Structure 1
């Protein structure tokens, strides 16, 4: 099993995105998906030792998912397995971004293991996404996050989904709670506006950072900003790119951020300003590489 102080444990969902082909909603392509799974593959592609702990079924979609994770070099020894089917996310892109209609119930995807006993064996533990709010996965995520917060570096990416299946407030309290437990929070402006409505995202970031956290705010084409308790915010512009597909860009950013922490030799919530700038630049380039092509596979930033 992959593990150790330089390794990352990613706990969450690996599912299948059904994405329109050529803008035709009547023809859809099955793609590897799930924010945590994308992050795990991204970390492995960037050379960071990573274990993915998700729920894998025994259907054809599960076989596709497992093949992609293994090909990337992701350790799967902590995954839970069952005879249930794989969850599906029907992607519905529009002018506001990508919405989803989820098929989640009675699937293997959300039968996650409680890894609270294993959290201390990793330098960082990443959680977030649907698994943080959909039971029975959410209970396992919370238990593991509680352990990671005291024994490792807990990285939370709330990754709030705009969808037609879960209510607009479904899981908001759980995601706010996880952000409160974390040492590192990576969130988009839309995530924070949803979780703390009526509060400017920058104000939420300052409040979270005041508790000793590293908080990274992403704004798509407007770049990213990192907040800490002891220094002024650090901002980095988005990398210019001809956008083909934005699905998975946030996950690539998260992978780039965490991988850069590992490459610098330390998982920490208290980097210096120049370290912060370097991490943001690396993450921004990783996200841009995903936007420049269809699918969620990233390219290693220059100088990695």
Structure 2
């Protein structure tokens, strides 16, 4: 089983169908007409959060998966859990709380890229507590995003990551930088470096890499067996401790938005490594170039499908069956 630890939240996504609404009921286009309220986009709630999306994607791909988090008892929290169950994700490691669900307001650029502002004060996922025990049958754990930034939950997730890595669990990390949530950038960068000895697979975007200010070679020297860097539509690359580097191109697709694409990559990487019995630092670091190219192509195809539809809607295994790089 693969356990994904981190936040579940609600993305509020702008809708193309949003229209101006008259302030005075006279029914003409608002524009800059005096007396009219400025138009605001309609926002639709979408289930989300980087770790949550990763767990759903793993479940849809057919990997035995569990989600480890703290989720609100409110209606959003119930919807989040229902969708996890629908993807066959085990929710027995989910803690519950009366606090509200975190909200992330998305803005979509002309190229489909997504930016976010967050409403996180007093929300349930910030109060996550370290579980006493993770079962021995767990093969890997995945961490990242807001859950490793917002205290006091961040320290709890960090403790869990270090503890499980120390007992031999394959750990994957996607920092998925949200700079607006990071009060002290230098302190976060130092903390990120302190995690690397406990990380077997580091995956991050080239934007994250620039913000963190390091290189794959530097990160590999600190602990990970492999570092995967994503470049959006230009594809992704893996770097390994033996100096190996493998790159594959992106898969052309009509992009609706990029919400959840990186999370889908996380899931596809773990799913493919599991299929190759490579969920250990030694096995992942020892994969040959051809095997890594297959893993990366599978991840690129999965991410492209996610980008082809609105919101974080990762693909099912049947949608990826039979293509180049498909899971064996």
**TM-score, normalised to structure 2's length?**
0.83
2:262 is aligned, of 205, 225, 250, to 250
**1:267-287 deviation line (CA, Å, top 9, x unaligned):** 133222222111111111110
2:104 is aligned, of 86, 89, 95, to 89
Aligned residues: 291
Secondary structure in 1 matching 2:255: coil
Shift of 1:50: 0.7
Q: What is the aligned partner in structure 2 of residue 9 from structure 1?
A: 3
Which structure: larger Rg? 2
1:160 is aligned, of 177, 180, 187, to 177
- Describe the shift of the 1:236–1:90 C-alpha distance in structure 2 as closer, same or farther (beyond 3 A): same
2:54 is aligned, of 26, 39, 45, to 39
Q: What is the aligned partner in structure 2 of residue 3 from structure 1?
A: none
CA contact (8 A) 1:79 1:112 kept: no
Secondary structure in 2 matching 1:41: helix
Q: What is the aligned partner in structure 2 of residue 143 from structure 1?
A: 159
**1:3-57 deviation line (CA, Å, top 9, x unaligned):** xxxx111100000000101175521000001000000000000010111011111
CA contact (8 A) 1:261 1:267 kept: yes
1:27 is aligned, of 42, 51, 58, to 42
Q: Which aligned pairs between 1:70-85 and structure 2 lie closer than 5 A?
A: 70-85=85-100
**TM-score, normalised to structure 1's length?**
0.90
Q: What is the aligned partner in structure 2 of residue 292 from structure 1?
A: 308
**1:216-272 deviation line (CA, Å, top 9, x unaligned):** 010101111100011430001001111111111000111111000111223133222
Tell me how far apart the structure 1 counterparts of residues 218 and 179 of structure 2 sit (CA, whole Å).
25
Secondary structure in 1 matching 2:147: helix
Tell me how far apart the structure 1 counterparts of residues 127 and 92 of structure 2 sit (CA, whole Å).
15
Tell me how far apart the structure 2 counterparts of residues 266 and 153 of structure 1 sit (CA, whole Å).
9
Q: What is the aligned partner in structure 2 of residue 178 from structure 1?
A: 195
Secondary structure in 1 matching 2:62: coil
**1:154-204 deviation line (CA, Å, top 9, x unaligned):** 1001110243x54372733333332342111001011111112xx5xxxx1
Tell me how far apart the structure 1 counterparts of residues 119 and 302 of structure 2 sit (CA, whole Å).
29
* Structure 1: segments with no counterpart, 5+ residues: 1-6
Q: What is the aligned partner in structure 2 of residue 283 from structure 1?
A: 299
Tell me how far apart the structure 1 counterparts of residues 135 and 204 of structure 2 sit (CA, whole Å).
22
